[in-house]
Structure 1
Amino acid sequence: MILVIVLVLLVVGSVVFSFVSPWWFTPLASNWGTIDTTLIITFVITGIVFVAVGLFMTYAVFRFRHKEGQRAHYEPENKKLEIWLSVLTGIGIIAMLAPGLVVWDQFITVPKEAKVIEVLGRQWSWAFRFPGEDGKLGTVATKYISDENPFGINPNDPTGQDDLLVDESELHLPVGKPYKLLLRSTDVLHDFYVPQFRAKMDLVPGLVTYFWFTPTRTGEFEILCAELCGVAHSEMRGSVFIDEEADFQEWLQDYSTFAEEMAAHEAKKSELTEITENTPQ
């Protein structure tokens, strides 16, 4: 009887805790409410199965508990029960998978009006690249990565000359507009994750992955790396600010283009060379 009481308390306590728990999703700040819906459907289905199995175990322990002189009946198979279990299990799996497939189709179908930016992950910080006036991001290659060119932008590609470079872990985006984030890593696996946006994706060295979302409210949100990426993984954080359009444009104007950055580096090199040559030996 003690085991029966423990099983009942476990089932009831788990259900009650699910409803009164202080831990729940962070408030949504993007268009991906369907991801929350899909997760809730999964919680409901698995919760129902948990309660059903728990109560059945409780019934079985109580109903078939040991009694003096009573022997167990051995029944190796029950085709009717097996069919019912197979059908119900199949329905449950379909009910959990189908919403996810629908959401995944939406997740990989980027709106035509979505603007593109690049997210660069590296141990252990973030950086961002916006297209310039031509609306296109320049091509990149690993061989071009250097201290002066951390994004690895092709210096021979004219479309990359006006790219705006944000070489710090702070990103600003305008509210209410869809954005496609191109994700690159220069070293190991990272994962760009903002809990309030729900959408997330791995950054894989040698590949360009992506996801898209539409910010739905202004505010400051924390960027996390959701992939173990080294000893300072926990420090790989940043901030994304969702602004009104005017505030976003004002912020973006503070950053230089790739051409301007390269010109500044060349000017600095020339200055150092001149100082070195004019220094008495």
Structure 2
Amino acid sequence: MAIAVALVVLALGSVLFHFLSPWYFTPIASNWHEIDQTISITFWVTGFVFVAVGLFTAWCVVRYRHREGGRASYEPESKKLEWWLLVLTAGGVAAMLAPGLLVWAKVIHVPEDALVIEAVAQQWHWNYRLPGKDGKLGTVHPRFVTDANPFGLNAADASGRDDVLVASPELHVPLGKPVKLLLRSKDVLHNFSIAQLRVKMDLVPGLVSYTWFTPTRTGSFDLLCEELCGVGHFAMRGRLVVDEPAVYQAWLDRQSTVAVASARAPGDAVAGKAAYAVCAACHGANAEGNVAMNAPKLSGQGGWYLHRQLNLFKHGARGTQEKDVYGKAMAPMAATLADDAAIANVVAYIASLPDTPAPTTINGNLDIGRRSFATCAACHGADGGGIAATNAPRLKGMSDWYMARQLKNFRDGVRGHHPQDIYGGQMALIAGMLNDDAAVGDVLAHINTLAAGKGEPR
């Protein structure tokens, strides 16, 4: 009897939990109400079967419980019962599949006036490409992919010259306009998923898949990769922002085209030398760093990374958090650089300076640090040299005391939580694996061996 009661409680309790639970779908922000309806039908069909089977099992436990002198009768088959089961099962399966097929028919038929956007996935970030005034995307090929050409654009295709490149995980789209997403992966299986839009589609290397939606309300929505794509899978975040059409157009006008990016003059090291005089007071004449001034080594660091961080400081995405004392001191220094050209000049001058490894100041357990660094190596490289394609800066030979401070800042929420510092947000998630200062010291001790050439992966 206790088993029968437990089965009844389980069946009815599950129904009550479903209806009374505060956890349910996020409010929809696109045209795909049919997807919610399809899932609701599936819930009703499977829920009915679950309750019916649970109550039937409880009834059988009571009805056919052991009785003194009772004997079971053997009935090898019942055509009547089999027909009932066949009809009911077929009806339930059809009720679940038919709405899904109707929705899928809409998914694969994209409106002719849809805005076409390419979403490119790579461990562990997103980039986007939009057609320019000609309304056509230029051709791409994996063999053209380099650090300078992350989209793999075909330089011989003139239709790609006006393509708009968005080298950021944040994509803006206009309200009320159908959007077709061309989905391309540069390495492994990924998945493009935005819960509020009811959009979810795999990205398969070597193929271009697609999906579409029409945003129905403005807002900012998290983009997740829901295909296990490697050690940094959980940190592969993006953002889709739905704007009013005028706001969207203003955002689009600020983005660079392929032609503009190609024509941009490289940084002028000579001009950068004069601007660097302000930086030298703290970072040293050769950008070697100065622990007494809380200024890290800059020489040898990737120019793309320095450029990004100076922009973050300049535009308030770094150096505004109350506890980031030294970041707050850096922000007004970055403000002395008038524009991107001035930043590029300073970065070019720093690239011309000698790259001498910074003195090491941190010791730790090398074996533990080596094992922990395996996660870091996926982005920063096994030798800690940094990888531009994964937006991960160089670590080896840089100021270990500065890296220790930044790891703690990431871990403690001081850095990486500004909405515009998307890659900092990824790092904040990764730094969470370092539970205490000793764990930070162990990782940095291993990184110090890489600078000395002693830390080759085993």
Q: Which residue pairs with 1:189 in the alignment?
A: 189
Task: Say yes or no: does 1:223 pair with 2:226.
Answer: no
Once superposed, what is the RMSD of the aligned Cα atoms? 1.6
- Aligned-partner Cα distance in 1 for 2:207–2:267: 33
* CA distance, structure 1, for counterparts of residue 10 and residue 200 of structure 2: 34
Q: Using the alignment, how far apart are the partners of 1:4 and 1:191 within structure 2?
A: 43
Which residue of 2 is the match for residue 15 of structure 1?
15
- Scaled by the length of structure 2, the TM-score of the pair is 0.58
Using the alignment, how far apart are the partners of 1:259 and 1:248 within structure 2? 21
* 1:74 and 2:101 aligned: no
2:254 aligned counterpart, secondary structure: coil
Letter paired with 1:114: A
In 1, the alpha carbon distance for the partners of 2:141 and 2:250 equals: 30
Report how far residue 269 of structure 1 moved: 8.3
Partner residue, 1:160: 160
Equivalent-residue separation in structure 1 for 2:121 and 2:149 (angstroms): 14
Matches of 1:74 and 1:234, distance apart in 2: 55
Q: Counterpart in 2 of 1:268?
A: 266
> Deviation at 1:118?
0.4
2:198 aligned residue: 198
Distance, in Å, in 1 between the alignment partners of 2:96 and 2:202 is 23
1:108 paired residue number: 108
Aligned residues of 1:148 and 1:262 also touching (Cα < 8 A):
no
Pair 1:255 & 2:255 matched: yes
1:210 correspondence with 2:210? yes
Q: Report the Cα distance in structure 1 between the residues aligned to 2:71 and 2:141, rounded to whole angstroms.
A: 74
Distance 1:114 1:237 in 2: 25
Within a 5 Å distance, the mapping from 1:73-92 to structure 2 comes to 73-92=73-92
In structure 2, C-alpha distance between the alignment counterparts of 1:233 and 1:259, rounded to whole Å: 33
2-side partners of 1:178 and 1:248: how far apart?
Answer: 14
Change (3 A) 1:269 1:147: farther
The within-5 A match list for 1:26-65 is 26-65=26-65
CA distance in 1, matches of 2:87, 2:268: 76
Determine the C-alpha separation between the residues in 2 that align with 1:127 and 1:138: 16
**TM-score, normalised with respect to structure 1:** 0.94
Query: Do the aligned partners of 1:119 and 1:127 also contact (CA within 8 Å) in 2?
Result: yes
1:232-275 alpha-carbon deviations (Å, 9 max, x no partner): 111110111100011001111111111121222xx428979xx9
Distance 1:189 1:82 in 2: 43
1:253 alignment partner, SS class: helix
Q: Structure 2 regions of 5+ residues with no counterpart?
A: 271-347, 353-458
Aligned residue pairs: how many? 273
Query: What is the DSSP-based 3-state SS (H/G/I as helix, E as strand, rest coil) of the residue aligned with 1:181?
Result: strand
Deviations 1:77-134 (A, max 9, x none): 1111011101110111111100000000001000111110100101111111111010
- Letter of the structure 2 residue corresponding to residue 138 of structure 1: G
Do the aligned partners of 1:221 and 1:239 also contact (CA within 8 Å) in 2? yes
Give the structure 1 partner of residue 119 of structure 2.
119
Larger RCO: 1 or 2 (CA < 8 Å, sep 6+):
1
How does 1:232-251 map onto structure 2 within 5 Å? 232-251=232-251
Q: Deviation at 1:22?
A: 1.3
Partner of 1:3: 3
2: CA distance, partners of 1:15 / 1:255: 50
Provide the rounded CA distance (Å) in 2 between the counterparts of 1:121 and 1:181: 12
1:36-66 CA-to-partner distances (Å, cap 9, x unmatched) read 0000000000111111111111111111110
Deviation at 1:186, TM superposition (A): 0.7
Distance 2:8 2:201 in 1: 40
Question: Quick one: distance in 2 between partners of 1:55 and 1:5?
Answer: 10
Which is worse superposed, 208-217 or 247-256?
247-256
| 1:33 partner amino acid | H
Provide the rounded CA distance (Å) in 2 between the counterparts of 1:14 and 1:193.
28
User: For 1:16 and 1:271, how far apart are their aligned partners in 2?
Assistant: 69
Please, which runs of 5 or more residues in structure 1 have no aligned partner? none
Mapped to 2, the partners of 1:213 and 1:41 lie a distance apart of: 22
Q: Which amino acid aligns with 1:115?
A: L
Provide the C-alpha distance between the structure 1 equivalents of 2:268 and 2:149, rounded to a whole number of angstroms. 17
Indicate the structure with greater strand content: 1
Indicate the SS of the match to 2:183.
Answer: strand
- The whole-number CA distance in structure 2 between the counterparts of 1:91 and 1:2 is 34
